[in-house]
Each structure stands twice: as C-alpha cells, then as structure tokens.
C-alpha cells in the first residue's frame, strides 16, 4: 500500500507493552514556579521551564505505562461526538497559549468541536496528584502546504481561548529544537493513549515507548523490504525497530516524539506522529513530521 493510500486507522499510530507504574513523589514545586513568574516575561519563562521534568524518572524497558507527570507536555486532543468529547489524537504543549499536533487530526474539523486536555494521565482516574486543565480551541493554524494524500507538512498549531499559566508539575511545555540536528542513532520517546496494537484496545493510562531514530534512506529501504515503495523526504523523521514490536498506533497521531538533549538534559520536540502502515510491523518504522524543519513557521505563528 502506498503512503497516499494510508487509512486514518493505519496513519494514527502507537504500540505499547504495559509494566508497573512508578509511584508519585510529593514535590513543592508550585510555589517555586509562582515565584519565578514574578517579573519574568512569558518568552523568558517558557525558555526557563520547557523540557524539564519536575518528577522523579522511572525506569523504561521497551514500551510501558508512564508514571504521573513524566511527560507533562502531553495533550489529549478531543473531538465532540454527539454527546461528549472523545479522545482522537495526541498533541504537545508549546507555551501557555499554543499546542501543536498533526494537521490530519484537525482537517475539516471546526475549532468549536475541539477540546484540549492538558496534564491528563489516567483517563479512568480522577484522583491524581494534580488535576488536568482543559481548554477550548480558538484558532486552528494548519500548515498551508499540508497534503492529505502524502501527509507532507502534517502540522497544525492550536491556540487556546484562555492561557494556561501558571504551569504545574503535570502541565509544562516542551522545548523546540534550536538547531538542525538529525538525531540519527538517538533514542526517541513517543507517548499517547493510542491502541496497544493494530485493531487492539485503547489504554486508559498514558503509554510510552522508546524507538531509535533512523536515516530516511534506511527508512525507505526498510519499507521496500516490507513491499512498499515510499518517498520519505527530509521534512519527515523516521524511528522504529527493524524487527517491529514497538511503535505508535491509532489514536496517537499528532502526539510528540521527544529526545533528551545532551548538552543540558532538556527534552526536545523532535517530531510529531504523522503516518505509518499498520502498527509495529517489521521493516515499517513510524514516520514523524520533523520539527526542526518548521522552526521558522512555528515561531511566526506563536507570535499571535
């Protein structure tokens, strides 16, 4: 199947294997954040806090359930369905006013039908250390060159009606890349509430998986080995295992692929989940929109 034949179910991706959840540790970070806000403008504050975890890290082995607050930029993008808002895609928090997702998640959807839930962890549990925040969408800014046939330029920015500040330990922005690092050979982490396997169940707890970033030429060759001819230009970034087993799946499109930057240990938004064929099949890596290629466009939109 060609990329331009990828269905919505096979394009919205994520695969995880569950393990034990890391316990929450109490922290008195809200007071420190409130003090930081005084006398600091918004841009400086975002740069000060982005990509920094405020919770202890838990051990990762393959794909598993994430611990509370571990990925505080993760968003559940929800769409109105007859009587309620239901999870549709992932998204990532950029600042107090904007989130980023995949354009195919919001194509032909009026902003009034969208709801962003930020700081969520377990969809089935209201009793969590910190509550989530919800925001309606005022503006949907999809990339003007988005091609629904090829999934190229698969990015959209979403502006909230009301800002999120002050932040809290489970609601923090992700950093944008500040260079053109390709990340080939780096370990990336992808997160979401997508299906646990192709046509499988949806989890209630946010899931995570580690995948290696691979060269686009190698990515195309892997797809050829699987019987597919795919053109994967540099605006995409590939990540996945040759033998499969760990991947994104339906319900995770638009969510973040993040990498920890070596120089300062901050987490960087390297990609947004865009498309794939099936979930976790051998020689069929996940394909993500490469954020470093869109820094200028993103920063222009964020000024509004």
**Residues identified as active-site:** 104, 154, 253
Length of the chain in terms of residues written: 304
Q: Quick count: other Cβ atoms within 10 Å of Cβ 202?
A: 15
In this structure, the strands spanning 286-290 and 267-275 are antiparallel
DSSP assigned state of 292: G
In this structure, the strands spanning 64-65 and 207-214 are antiparallel
Give CA torsion, residues 12, 274, 111, 119, to 10 deg: 80
Contact 256, 73 (CB under 8 A): yes
Contact 187, 211 (CB under 8 A): yes
Nearest C-alpha neighbor of 30 from the set 63, 69, 79: 69
CA distance 243 to 195: 19
Q: Which residues of 242-271 are buried (b: 16+ CB within 10 A; e: fewer)?
A: eebbbbbbbbbbbbbbbbebeeeebbbbbb
CA distance 285 to 281: 8
CA distance 155 to 114: 16
Q: Quick count: other Cβ atoms within 10 Å of Cβ 239?
A: 30
């Amino acid at each position: 199947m060609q990329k331009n034949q990828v269905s919505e179910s096979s394009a919205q991706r994520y695969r995880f294997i569950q393990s034990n959840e890391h316990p929450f540790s109490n922290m008195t970070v809200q007071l420190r954040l409130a003090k930081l806000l005084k006398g600091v403008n918004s841009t400086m504050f975002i740069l000060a806090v982005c990509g920094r975890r405020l919770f202890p890290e838990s051990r990762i082995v393959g794909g598993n359930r994430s611990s509370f607050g571990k990925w505080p930029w993760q968003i559940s993008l929800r769409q109105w369905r007859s009587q309620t808002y239901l999870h549709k895609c992932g998204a990532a928090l950029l600042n107090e006013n904007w989130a980023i997702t995949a354009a195919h998640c919001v194509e032909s959807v009026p902003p009034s039908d969208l709801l962003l839930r930020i700081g969520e962890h377990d969809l089935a549990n209201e009793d969590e250390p910190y509550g989530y925040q919800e925001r309606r969408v005022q503006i949907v800014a999809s990339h003007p060159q988005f091609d629904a046939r090829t999934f190229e330029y698969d990015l959209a920015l979403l502006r909230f009606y009301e800002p999120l500040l002050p932040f809290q330990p489970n609601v923090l922005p992700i950093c944008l890349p500040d260079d053109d690092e390709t990340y080939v050979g780096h370990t990336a982490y992808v997160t979401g509430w997508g299906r646990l396997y192709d046509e499988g169940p949806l989890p209630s707890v946010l899931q995570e998986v580690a995948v290696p970033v691979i060269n686009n030429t190698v990515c195309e060759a892997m797809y050829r080995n699987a019987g597919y001819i795919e053109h994967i230009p540099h605006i995409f970034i590939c990540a996945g295992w040759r033998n499969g087993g760990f991947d994104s799946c339906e319900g995770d499109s638009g969510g973040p692929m993040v990498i920890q930057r070596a120089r300062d240990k901050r987490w960087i938004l390297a990609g947004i989940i865009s498309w794939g064929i099936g979930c976790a099949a051998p020689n069929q890596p996940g394909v993500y929109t490469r954020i470093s290629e869109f820094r200028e466009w993103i920063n222009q939109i964020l000024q509004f």
